[in-house]
Amino acid sequence: MPGLNRFLGFYLLIGLLQGVVFNYADRFFNSNQALFTGVMVVALVGGTTLQLLGEKARQWRALLPTLAFTLLMSGMTAWVFYREEHLLISRREVDAWCLSLVLLSYIGASFLCAWPAAKGQRWRYENLFQQAWNSVFIVLYALMLVGLFLLLLKLWSRLFLMLGIEFFELHFWSQTFMCFSVPLVFALGMYMAGRSEKVIGQMRGMLFGACGLLLPLIALISVLFTLTLPFTGLDRIWATGYSTPILLVLAGAQLFLLNGVFQEGGQPRPYPKWLMRFVEFSVVCLPILAALAFYSSWLRVEQYALSPQRFIALALALLCSLYGLAAVWAVALRSPAWLSNLRVTNPVLALLFCVLLVLVNTPVLNPIRLSADDQVRRLLDGRTNPEAFDAHYLRFGLGKAGEQAYAQLQMDVDQERILNPESRRALRERMDDTSLSFDEQLAKERALAPKPELEWIGPKPKGSEQFVDMSEIADSPCESGCVLWAVDLDADGQSEVLVVPLTSFRNEYKGPRIYALDEKGQWDDRGPLLWTQLPSGHVDTEMLIHDIREGNIALVKPRYRQLQTRDMLLTPVIREP
């Protein structure tokens, strides 16, 4: 394998340490969940960033900032997930931070890898640009290598499984093997891609070539759309309900292609003079498109209040506006190098984007909390009529912040501290109509449902009243009533209880179960009673209850005994001929 040297051990060591973390991840999670998230971020973010640094990791000026960035991301993750006032983090917030963490890690790694490692060197935009794109292709190459590795393992294991050899199928897909092999193969892919500068350069060149081909087309789309607006008006845009994402995609795609053509800012002019002027003219459309997207979302906020999706749309539209204004300013400067001012504004805006990503995951700009506050504020200042207030969305659509705002609003209404009497009455009706949560609805249905009928055949054993409480539990065998029979099944002098549900043999089947007293005097479910003559094991409960009542039942010793191994108890299931 060309290009391998002793520095490969550095990559493999990182992969090995990542494998150790992944293999013992469940123990970290069980011992301390905050520690678990911190260690996982250190392994993923820190390990991948160090692999992207490559040989620069030997120099302290590059290594120390990387370690500091890794610890910062680890601490931020632990704080977001497990801060005291936010223990019950919603799935939406988890997904938002995971996406933010990926973007922050990518931008941070690009800056760290482009930072001058030697004292006295000057930071250069060319290094940042190349490293940002190289990181994408290096990680993509490593992921492709991991995918091919897994496919070959699947082929290997399946081939030998056809021969009846299960060893490879069992061990290749075990947790330990996966936790160690995947990071090691990924590390090998990072090493190979990091030293294949020619291949990475060709991939980057192909992408930039496509950008150069598509930029005039999207410039034409932007110009034609912008020039058409005075003749069609804006009302049709506001009426669609989906104008913001389309406008943001158009502006974002044009910015992406523009930077793909601009590249490091030192290449010759990419187009003829007339086409250059047309592209520059289309750049003026960028702030207009971003402003339309911002105003479109703002209209929705004015009509229906703030929501997390609208907040994110407003933030992205504002960011696109800043990028568009920076591009317009670069055109207006008319510098010798085409759009050379982007070399100054792009890094600043990238760091501003990082700050925004951090803030939206904190109480400062948390979209869910801001949305809940805006919902209540609009109600109190009269912009939202109590009859039209969406109490259900506030309570169940905005996570913990919405639940807290709903509880506070309900308390204020009950204590008559807000609104006028007529508005309070209308709001109380809206809140009373709010759908109950799943647990509340289930509790209400159980309270209104008739108590299950319990019928004892023969004397009741000690603690029989416990079955009354157990019958009210969800998915209880006695949910629709049952017959109970105390019988000593194991001949130890202490009766067990056979619980036979009152369900049909063919419909809504629930099998009989055996309960035994534990050391604390509680009746414990020990498992089902099966009819082994049938493949399904289902018991005809109606016939069983009839035979118990008639006394047509007997205790029979099993013909075959159980087998006890070192850590297993094997019970034979025999179907008599």
pLDDT in tens, 150-172: 999 999 999 998 888 888 888 88
Same domain, 49 and 185: yes
Same domain, 269 and 329: yes
Domain assignment present for 446? no
CA 228 to chain centroid: 41
Same domain, 536 and 480: yes
Percent of residues, the chain, with pLDDT higher than 70? 92
pLDDT tens digits, one per residue of 46-64:
999 999 988 887 888 888 8
pLDDT category of residue 4 using cuts at 50, 70 and 90: very low
What contacts 5, CB < 8 A, 6 or more positions away? none
Residue that finishes a domain, picked among 359, 390, 420? 359
Q: Measure the CA–CA gap between 200 and 300, rounded to whole angstroms.
A: 44
**pLDDT score at 435:** 60
Q: How far is CA 138 from CA 192, 292, 363, in A?
A: 9, 37, 35
pLDDT tens digits, one per residue of 278-328:
999 999 999 999 999 999 999 989 888 889 999 999 999 999 999 999 999
What is the pTM (predicted TM-score) of this model?
0.74
Same domain, 404 and 505: no
Residue 510 has pLDDT above 90, yes or no: no
Domain assignment present for 382? yes
Rg (CA), the chain: 34
Contact 498, 518 (CB under 8 A): no
Same domain, 286 and 206: yes
CB atoms within 10 A of CB 247: 25
Residue that finishes a domain, picked among 375, 403, 435? 435
Contact 499, 511 (CB under 8 A): no
Token pair for residue 88? 């019950």
Burial class (CB in 10 A: 0-12, 13-18, 19+), 358: middle
Token pair for residue 158? 């399946």
The structure tokens 């749309």 sit at 313
Host domain of residue 276: 199-359
Domain assignment present for 389? yes
The pLDDT of 88-113, averaged and rounded, is 85
Residue that finishes a domain, picked among 195, 229, 250? 195
Closest CA to 327 of 338, 339, 335, 315: 339
Q: How many domains does the chain have?
A: 4
b (16+ CB within 10 A) / e for 202-226: ebbeeebeebeebbbebbeebbebb
Same domain, 14 and 93: yes
Domain assignment present for 442? no
Same domain, 411 and 339: no
CB atoms within 10 A of CB 248: 22
Same domain, 398 and 329: no
Same domain, 181 and 217: no
Domain assignment present for 229? yes
Same domain, 421 and 343: no
Domain assignment present for 576? no
Domain assignment present for 305? yes
Is pLDDT larger for residue 576 or for residue 364?
364
Domain assignment present for 380? yes
Same domain, 120 and 158: yes
Same domain, 457 and 530: yes
The pLDDT of 402-426, averaged and rounded, is 86
